[in-house]
Amino acid sequence: MSDLLSPAGGRATTSHSPVPGFAVISGAQVQDALRGREKQLVELVEATYRLHGAGDSVNPPSYFLRFPDRPTSRIIALPASIGGSVHVDGLKWISSFPDNVADGLPRASAVLILNDPGTGYPFACLESSIISATRTAASAALAADRLSRNRTRPTRVGFFGTGLIARYIHTFLAGTGWTFDTVGVHDVSAESAAGFSGYLEQSGAAGQIVVHDSAEDLIRSSDLVVFATVAGKPHVTDPAWFDHHPLVLHVSLRDLAPEILLDSANFVDDVEHCLKADTSPHLAEQLTGGRAFLDGTLDDVMTGRASVPDERTVIFSPFGLGVLDLAVGKYVYDEAARAGQLHLIDDFFHDLRRYG
């Protein structure tokens, strides 16, 4: 992993000044740096999880900015610092405005700021909705692999929620070698389900595409279930729907009633982060008064500290860690620097003399 985590371009500094240059990296540049590199990025995310698990990171709680006049909307600040050879600090600032969808805009928009750990100066601002979707999808693909190694590998995938994140997760599953006999689709919006089905057809996805009118049919007919909705509270409540013990990537975190989690084996990315903000694991903790329902973290599985049962439903609930955004963002920055495509803002920092 070390080659993936080593800085290629480094920060934009000179030998004469500790003040870094400041680069702005557009969404088009981000996409160019990441496109077609699913295997590399999953390895990068795995390496970052290992750094985080080893304590070589700082990942404080996310801060939620909410609005009394817009209760469904929020902007989240994810500060973080990652060590190793990545060695960068920073902040993701990501908004979630569900009403955007009705206007034909993506729900989420984001920027990522990278800070130099030596001076604290920011040295890059990156469009980050693509980075955020990429690290989420890479994390999901990694979990699908790691949590299915002691189980029959899923051949029927079902997507509950069919927006940008679902598309990226499918791309990363396909890009890391997954093939499926059937790809199930369900969304409360028939238009969204049709759009996602069209994407699957255009992408040449292997397997039969099946649009399900009911959530129950989708879940019962899938042995890998991906939840990628904008649900704010549990809406899937019947544990019997999971009697066939699928592997569940609970990416949107609030779809499942706590009773379903209590009937399953549960893995998270970070315990303290995931058990807050009324996520389904947080509700399960409130219901039981403890955390005994948790079987471990994904890093626990990767390092052998936790095992995955083969005859129970297995649920992965990732809160989403800022250190992943930093690792992917630094990867993009280094790729742009290597290609000589950094757009530096001259004189971004002004009045640098302490006494004028």
- What CATH architecture does domain 2-131+322-338 belong to? 2-Layer Sandwich (3.30)
Instruction: Output the pLDDT for position 288.
Output: 98
Instruction: Output the pLDDT for position 6.
Output: 37
pTM: 0.91
Can you read off the two tokens belonging to residue 166? 């679902």
Q: Which regions in the chain score pLDDT beneath 50?
A: 1-16
State residue 83 phi and psi, 5-degree precision. -95, -135
Can you read off the two tokens belonging to residue 338? 């290597």
Q: What amino acid occupies position 213?
A: D
State residue 256 phi and psi, 5-degree precision. -100, 135
Instruction: Output the pLDDT for position 14.
Output: 36
Instruction: Output the pLDDT for position 13.
Output: 43
CATH 3.40.50.720 domain extents, the chain: 133-317
Instruction: Output the pLDDT for position 193.
Output: 96
Cα-Cα end-to-end distance for the chain: 46
- What CATH architecture does domain 133-317 belong to? 3-Layer(aba) Sandwich (3.40)
Can you give the length of the chain in residues? 356
Instruction: Output the pLDDT for position 3.
Output: 40
CATH 3.30.1780.10 domain extents, the chain: 2-131+322-338
Which positions ≥6 away from 30 have C-beta within 8 Å?
Answer: 126, 127, 128, 130, 131, 332
Instruction: Output the pLDDT for position 230.
Output: 86
The 3 state secondary structure assigned to the chain is CHHHHCCCCCCCCECCECCCCCEEECHHHHHHHHCCCHHHHHHHHHHHHHHHHCCCEECCCCEEEECCCCCCCEEEEEEEEECCCCCEEEEEEEEECHHHHHHCCCCEEEEEEEECCCCCCEEEEEECHHHHHHHHHHHHHHHHHHCCCCCCCCCEEEEECCCHHHHHHHHHHHHCCCCCCEEEEECCCHHHHHHHHHHHHHCCCCCEEEECCCHHHHHHCCCEEEECCCCCCCCECCHHHHCCCCEEEECCCCCECHHHHHCCEEEECCHHHHCCCCCHHHHHHHHHCCCCCEEEEHHHHHHCCCCCCCCCCEEEECCCCHHHHHHHHHHHHHHHHHCCCCCECCCCCCCCCCCC
Cα separation, 221 vs 239, whole angstroms: 15
Question: 162, 133, 120, 107: which is closest to 38 by C-alpha?
Answer: 133
Predicted confidence (pLDDT) per residue in 64-115, tens digit: 999 999 998 999 999 999 999 899 999 999 999 989 988 888 888 999 999 9
State residue 147 phi and psi, 5-degree precision. -85, -5
